[in-house]
Chains A and B, each alone.
Chain A
Amino acid sequence: MTSVVFYFQVHQPYRLERFTTFDVGKGRSFWDDELNRAVMERVAERCYVPMNQVLLDAIERTSGAFRCSFSISGTALQQMEDWAPEALESFQRLAATGAVEILGETSMHSLAALVDVREFRAQARSHAARIEELFGKRPTTFRNTELITDEIIARSVEGLGYRTLLAEGADKLLAGRSPQFVWRPRGCEHLRLLLRSYVPSDDIAYRFSNKGWDAYPLMADAFARGLDELQEGSDFVGLFMDYETFGEHQWEETGIFDFMAALPEQILANPRFDFATPGELADEAEPVGELSYPRAFSWADEERDLSAWLGNPMQRAAHEALYALAPAVRDSGRADLLLDWRRLTTSDHVYYMATKQHSDAEVHEYFSPYDTPHDAFILFMNVLDDVRARLDAPTAAPIPDPASTPRVDAPAQEKR
């Protein structure tokens, strides 16, 4: 029996608004709440709410035979709670069916695992607590931001008590081996590694509405037949993708909802297939062997490496400047500052600074709220200056007080 393992990533960052160097230290918020709210409301309406209904119907129709999993970033959860509570409730209804597993990740969808283990553990723990609080179950499966994984990260995940880890089935990692069996990352005792099968995953996530694609238009029966050709007696097929694929990247008009509504029965009609959540699969299947990581792999871009986030000097400079502030921010004991700083660790901020050529650039541009990667960098660095200025300042908000220590930019303020 081969299990189809669906994992959907739900994520929204907190985007920044215009913030020039002249705004630094003035106690202005740099979050673009208007935009963030508008995006959350739009995505909830177009994707989360209707797609959750499609999946809920599928679970009910198949009496729970259709199963899937979600990872929902903390930044997405918070924005949903604030601006689209109906979407959060519909996720809770899904989780309550027992056919849906909610995974663990970093609360801020951050790159902390790469640089700051203490921060990584803090974000993973706080997110796990949040998931338990909202969905009633502590997560046992983890996925790191953008499926970024190497052996060190895998060990950290194991150290946090997780039993299963999701990752990319990159060609260069597998070197001819199959992503459709459970592996164990080298250096881990018992952590099960479930890999993404990127071809069928991207058939849905990227190619579905591409009229130039030879399999267009993709129908549920054809996709199910394709999976059958692919399974070859394997344990599972990992279909991992962004949840915003449904209704947001691929609009409703493309037929993506109808496709997903029809798919469960098409797959279950084949006696060689069932559905499983990652945790369930890991319980049943033993690792077939050990996988060693020559470097970190992610699910992004052609290279499946870290270049989408740390590929150019601007990205690396921003990333370093951000994490250099970590100790001071954590030690400051200021909750507002820590929250702002943590929201800046969301990987999207450095993703917007990517200067890639060719087809990947289109994907990056599609996601960026800013005009250019350079603008994204400048904005982010200005905001970091503001965080730094607040760290140095005696109080959270600058209160004009002639008796207090003069601030560096005080003369500039007075002139305006």
Chain B
Amino acid sequence: MKVLMFGWELPPAISGGLGTACQGLLEGLALHDVHVRFVLPRTVGGERVPRGEVLAAGDVPLPRPIEVVPVASPLIPYGDEASYAEAQAHAGFSGGFSGGYGATLADEVRRYGAVGGELGRAADFDIVHAHDWMTFPAGAAAADASGKPLVVHVHSCEFDRAGVGADPRILAVEQAGLDRADRIVCVSGYTAGVLRQEYDIDEAKLRVVHNAIRRPRRRPALRRRPTEHPTVLFLGRLTRQKAPERFLEAALHVAEHAPSTQFVMAGDGDLRPELERRALGLGLVDRMHFPGFLAGPAVRRAFDQASVFVMPSVSEPFGLVALEAMERGVPVVLTRTSGVAEAVTSALKVDSEDVEALADRVLAVLRHPALADQLAREGRREVATFTWKRQAARLREIYGELLG
């Protein structure tokens, strides 16, 4: 089985959750005898597509130049923080593709679409698969040109990211891609619900494939979490979708009952200055730490120092970070408005607006070692069932439905 797949990012280039998930799926699909030609706006070298190949859109010759229409304001697909910083670095990149998320994004998405059409003409594949809205036009063009079925994969949608402040241009591209698709793969039933409700998508086209995580080569033994000066961790973009302000409000409740507790709000984003101001105003400044954006070993260190991890997101398509925390043996409290909440049982779950319940669960983990130990042990056991091999098998079944 051959798949023409359109992505926007892939390690080792700096990438967010989308690139990590695509990498996992590629590795999983290779184990199920699926050959993938993975197209990126541009490659940096070192991308790995086992049993497949990677292709840079800039290397695809186009029969005639594409007309470029400049847009007044940049599109910001994933809010800000890492991708935003990266976008700044790529600004002014004009030849070919930047593969970033900068001012030229709208233009790049269109030109990427043209590349999709060109690649589609060869029709030397069975399925077209496109990841998130930036690649939907390319996927649709390839499917149109080849007559092959189109799968679009929703890792995140504009509604989750922006809520009522959604960018109408992005919504339009998303809607067109979703409508055109023969199957829509969602990272959660929660996201499938959002697509049904907010994009009016037919239930029959929707499929759910949860994310997974790679098993680390070395798994440290589970450790007792520090109890004398416990630490409560938030880790994510400091932006509306992730609800860091709820974390702050819950921290206030927790601090009243457990004054020796420390709070870490790791990540960067547009809300950071305001959060720092509020922490100061609430008298939490000596207990609330803002270490900024963390990556790699710093993330693992943050997990190892945490007594409990909190993910208070208002709308989270999946929430891979919760699985990472569980793998690391950290008890997790998360909101029900997330994909991961439906996928795991070994985490404490609260309604997203219920700050009191959130604080109650955090305090319970801090106070009751029996609960913390149980969540840590069960959580790690449960996470082991989330493998890319298994999720890729689900994906292959979905391909199978389309090929009859």
Interface residues of A (CB under 8 A from B): 20-22, 312-314, 316-318, 355, 371-372, 374-375, 377-378, 381-382, 409, 411-412, 415
Once A314-B370, A355-B374, A378-B371 are accepted as A-B contacts, the answer to whether A21 and B363 lie under 8 Å apart by CB is yes
Interface assignment of B276: CB less than 8 Å from any CB of chain A: no
Q: How far is the CA of A342 from the CA of B300 in the complex (A)?
A: 45
Contact residues of B between 338 and 385, Cβ < 8 Å to A: 345, 348-349, 356-357, 359-361, 363-364, 367-371, 373-375, 378
Q: How far is the CA of A368 from the CA of B33 in the complex (A)?
A: 44
| A361–chain B nearest beta-carbon distance, Å | 9
Residue of A nearest to B357 (CB): A20
Given contact pairs A314-B370, A317-B371, a sample of 10 additional A-B residue pairs in the complex whose CB atoms are under 8 Å apart: A21-B363, A22-B253, A22-B257, A22-B356, A313-B374, A314-B371, A314-B374, A375-B348, A378-B364, A409-B257
| B368–chain A nearest beta-carbon distance, Å | 6
Q: How far is the CA of A415 from the CA of B369 in the complex (A)?
A: 29
Once A20-B360, A312-B374, A314-B374 are accepted as A-B contacts, the answer to whether A371 and B368 lie under 8 Å apart by CB is no
Which residues of the partner chain A approach B363 to less than 8 Å between Cβ atoms? Answer: 21
Interface assignment of B67: CB less than 8 Å from any CB of chain A: no
Which residues of the partner chain B approach A412 to less than 8 Å between Cβ atoms? Answer: 256-257
Which residues of the partner chain A approach B356 to less than 8 Å between Cβ atoms? Answer: 20, 22
Q: How far is the CA of A35 from the CA of B216 in the complex (A)?
A: 46
Q: How far is the CA of A89 from the CA of B364 in the complex (A)?
A: 44
Establish whether residues A382 and B371, one from each chain, have CB atoms under 8 Å apart when the complex forms: no
Interface residues of B (CB under 8 A from A): 253, 256-257, 345, 348-349, 356-357, 359-361, 363-364, 367-371, 373-375, 378
Residue contacts A-B, CB under 8 angstroms, 26 given:
A20-B360, A21-B257, A21-B363, A21-B364, A22-B356, A22-B359, A312-B374, A313-B374, A314-B374, A317-B368, A317-B371, A355-B374, A371-B349, A372-B345, A375-B348, A377-B364, A377-B368, A377-B370, A378-B348, A378-B368, A378-B371, A381-B364, A381-B368, A382-B360, A382-B364, A409-B257
Establish whether residues B368 and A372, one from each chain, have CB atoms under 8 Å apart when the complex forms: no
Q: How far is the CA of A355 from the CA of B345 in the complex (A)?
A: 10
| A276–chain B nearest beta-carbon distance, Å | 45
Which residues of the partner chain B approach A415 to less than 8 Å between Cβ atoms? Answer: 256
| A76–chain B nearest beta-carbon distance, Å | 30
Once A20-B356, A314-B370, A371-B349 are accepted as A-B contacts, the answer to whether A378 and B378 lie under 8 Å apart by CB is no
Q: Return the contact of B378 from the options A20, A22, A355, A381 (Cβ within 8 A).
A: A355
Establish whether residues A22 and B360, one from each chain, have CB atoms under 8 Å apart when the complex forms: yes
If over half of B's interface residues share one DSSP class (helix, strand or loop), that class is named, otherwise mixed; here it is: helix
Residue of A nearest to B381 (CB): A357
| A365–chain B nearest beta-carbon distance, Å | 10
| B364–chain A nearest beta-carbon distance, Å | 4
| B372–chain A nearest beta-carbon distance, Å | 10
| A343–chain B nearest beta-carbon distance, Å | 21
Q: How far is the CA of A20 from the CA of B253 in the complex (A)?
A: 12
Q: Return the contact of B349 from the options A372, A381, A382 (Cβ within 8 A).
A: A372
Which residues of the partner chain B approach A374 to less than 8 Å between Cβ atoms? Answer: 348, 371, 374-375
Which residues of the partner chain B approach A377 to less than 8 Å between Cβ atoms? Answer: 364, 368, 370-371
Q: How far is the CA of A70 from the CA of B95 in the complex (A)?
A: 85
Q: How far is the CA of A368 from the CA of B345 in the complex (A)?
A: 15
Q: How far is the CA of A372 from the CA of B346 in the complex (A)?
A: 9
Q: How far is the CA of A345 from the CA of B270 in the complex (A)?
A: 51
Which residues of the partner chain B approach A381 to less than 8 Å between Cβ atoms? Answer: 364, 367-368
Establish whether residues B368 and A21, one from each chain, have CB atoms under 8 Å apart when the complex forms: no
Which residues of the partner chain A approach B364 to less than 8 Å between Cβ atoms? Answer: 21, 377-378, 381-382
Residue of B nearest to A318 (CB): B370
Which residues of the partner chain A approach B378 to less than 8 Å between Cβ atoms? Answer: 355
Establish whether residues A313 and B373, one from each chain, have CB atoms under 8 Å apart when the complex forms: yes
Residue of A nearest to B364 (CB): A378
Residue of B nearest to A374 (CB): B348
Residue of A nearest to B361 (CB): A378
| A1–chain B nearest beta-carbon distance, Å | 51
**Closest 10 pairs between A and B when the two form their complex, measured CB to CB:** A317-B370, A20-B360, A313-B370, A378-B364, A314-B370, A412-B256, A21-B360, A21-B363, A314-B374, A313-B374
Q: How far is the CA of A52 from the CA of B375 in the complex (A)?
A: 44
Residue of A nearest to B367 (CB): A381
Which residues of the partner chain A approach B348 to less than 8 Å between Cβ atoms? Answer: 372, 374-375, 378
Which residues of the partner chain B approach A378 to less than 8 Å between Cβ atoms? Answer: 348, 360-361, 364, 368, 371
Establish whether residues B256 and A316, one from each chain, have CB atoms under 8 Å apart when the complex forms: no
Which residues of the partner chain B approach A22 to less than 8 Å between Cβ atoms? Answer: 253, 257, 356, 359-360
Which residues of the partner chain B approach A316 to less than 8 Å between Cβ atoms? Answer: 370
Q: How far is the CA of A67 from the CA of B52 in the complex (A)?
A: 74
| A24–chain B nearest beta-carbon distance, Å | 9
Q: How far is the CA of A409 from the CA of B363 in the complex (A)?
A: 15
Q: How far is the CA of A279 from the CA of B37 in the complex (A)?
A: 78
Residue of B nearest to A415 (CB): B256
Residue of B nearest to A312 (CB): B374
Q: How far is the CA of A314 from the CA of B367 in the complex (A)?
A: 12
| A382–chain B nearest beta-carbon distance, Å | 7
Q: How far is the CA of A57 from the CA of B379 in the complex (A)?
A: 53
Which residues of the partner chain A approach B345 to less than 8 Å between Cβ atoms? Answer: 372
Q: How far is the CA of A312 from the CA of B373 in the complex (A)?
A: 10
| B255–chain A nearest beta-carbon distance, Å | 11
Which residues of the partner chain B approach A318 to less than 8 Å between Cβ atoms? Answer: 370
Which residues of the partner chain A approach B257 to less than 8 Å between Cβ atoms? Answer: 21-22, 409, 412
Residue of A nearest to B331 (CB): A374
Which residues of the partner chain A approach B368 to less than 8 Å between Cβ atoms? Answer: 314, 317, 377-378, 381
| B142–chain A nearest beta-carbon distance, Å | 44
Which residues of the partner chain B approach A411 to less than 8 Å between Cβ atoms? Answer: 256
Q: How far is the CA of A64 from the CA of B374 in the complex (A)?
A: 53
